[in-house]
């Protein structure tokens, strides 16, 4: 039995003191692989460093919508170089955040389109961040023909119709720890209706810790609470959720698993 945390931020300062212990605890809880997302320039090389020093860690690099206002003429060429590293398995997280609005909306829209283009050029799947911008996110995914790269809608917060449209474009829906909260505003009903073959699980650590750690620092080992909740919602076994979400993650990140070595890219 193996779990995969498809989205975390191990390079963030919250893990500076005890990163090795965090990665060890994940291993002991059955988390075979962790994908860590470098969201801005200062985090990219750190994410890669962590990935290179741990066989169980892979990297995802891109510019988060919060940070797109900092993109300059060198940003994309730097990313182009870094993303050729075999440890980088996706481009992201990219998208729109109209909740916090830390970059102007017009800039977010433009940079989202540009970065989908870059991911297609690099032949990497994209990891999409969408907060309170569902309509605009869908529109851009469609008009930029994102089905050509496919990828993941991380921390999914849209409705069932949106999930269905994303799945039809070849995207996976990633479920965060918030699914364990008491009031999920209909999210559990959506998960009940979505096919297991399209679901991933994630922590988004250090954020969004699941119950019973709500409010504390999140870490990849806690992804099993999310798997447990998905099993409960769908009335299937924990093992089945683990197996399906692991297979899905290996497929979207184009990794082949073998027990004798760390996963390697599918040629």
Residues in contact with Zn ion by CB under 5 A are 93, 129, 204
The nearer residue to Zn ion, 63 or 234, going by C-beta atoms, is 63
Give dist(CA 98, CA 205) in Å, integer.
Answer: 21
Q: Shortest Cβ distance from residue 60 to Zn ion (Å)?
A: 9
Give dist(CA 119, CA 166) in Å, integer.
Answer: 17
Q: Shortest Cβ distance from residue 155 to Zn ion (Å)?
A: 5
Q: Angle at which helices 105-122 and 75-82 pack, to 10 degrees? A: 30
Label residues 37-63 b or e (16+ Cβ within 10 Å = b).
Answer: bbbbbebbebbbebbeebebbbbbbbb
The nearer residue to Zn ion, 137 or 180, going by C-beta atoms, is 137
Neighbours of 217 (CB within 10 A): 15
CB-based contact 143:117 (threshold 8 Å): no
3-state helix, strand, coil in the chain (%, to 5): 45, 20, 30
Q: Shortest Cβ distance from residue 157 to Zn ion (Å)?
A: 10
Give dist(CA 66, CA 164) in Å, integer.
Answer: 27
The nearer residue to Zn ion, 180 or 234, going by C-beta atoms, is 180
Q: Shortest Cβ distance from residue 136 to Zn ion (Å)?
A: 16
Write the Ramachandran bin of 53: left for phi over 0, alpha for psi from -120 to 50, otherwise beta. alpha
Cα dist. 241→4, 76, 83, 150, 249 in Å?
11, 37, 30, 22, 12
The nearer residue to Zn ion, 94 or 241, going by C-beta atoms, is 94
The nearer residue to Zn ion, 11 or 144, going by C-beta atoms, is 11
Q: Shortest Cβ distance from residue 241 to Zn ion (Å)?
A: 21
Instruction: Give me the residue whose beta carbon is nearest to Zn ion.
Output: 129
Cα dist. 71→19, 59, 67, 88, 208 in Å?
29, 20, 8, 20, 27
Give dist(CA 229, CA 179) in Å, integer.
Answer: 7
Q: Shortest Cβ distance from residue 176 to Zn ion (Å)?
A: 9
The nearer residue to Zn ion, 83 or 128, going by C-beta atoms, is 128
Q: Shortest Cβ distance from residue 238 to Zn ion (Å)?
A: 25
Lookup: tokens for 128: 């999409």
The nearer residue to Zn ion, 91 or 234, going by C-beta atoms, is 91
């Amino acid at each position: 039995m193996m779990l995969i945390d498809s989205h975390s931020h191990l390079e963030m300062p919250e893990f500076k003191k005890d990163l090795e212990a965090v990665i060890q605890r994940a291993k002991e809880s059955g988390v075979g692989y962790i994908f860590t997302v470098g969201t801005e320039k200062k985090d990219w090389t750190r994410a890669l460093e962590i990935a290179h020093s741990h066989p169980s860690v892979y990297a995802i690099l891109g510019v988060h919508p919060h940070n797109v206002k900092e993109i300059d003429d060198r940003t994309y060429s730097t990313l182009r170089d870094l993303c050729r590293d075999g440890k980088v398995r996706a481009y992201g997280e990219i998208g729109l955040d109209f909740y916090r609005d830390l970059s102007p909306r017009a800039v977010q829209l433009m940079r989202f389109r540009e970065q989908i283009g870059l991911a297609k050029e690099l032949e990497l799947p994209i990891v999409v961040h969408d907060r309170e911008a569902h309509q605009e996110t869908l529109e851009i995914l469609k008009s930029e023909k994102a089905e050509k790269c496919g990828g993941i809608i991380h921390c999914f917060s849209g409705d069932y119709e949106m999930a269905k449209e994303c799945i039809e474009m070849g995207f996976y829906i990633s479920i965060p720890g918030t699914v364990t909260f008491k009031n999920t505003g209909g999210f559990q009903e959506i998960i009940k209706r979505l096919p297991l073959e399209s679901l991933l699980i994630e922590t988004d650590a250090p954020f969004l810790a699941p119950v019973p750690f709500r409010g504390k620092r999140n870490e990849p080992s806690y992804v099993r609470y999310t798997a447990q909740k998905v099993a409960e919602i769908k009335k299937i076994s924990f093992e089945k959720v683990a197996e399906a979400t692991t297979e899905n993650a290996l497929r979207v990140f184009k990794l082949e698993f073998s027990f004798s070595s760390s996963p390697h890219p599918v040629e």
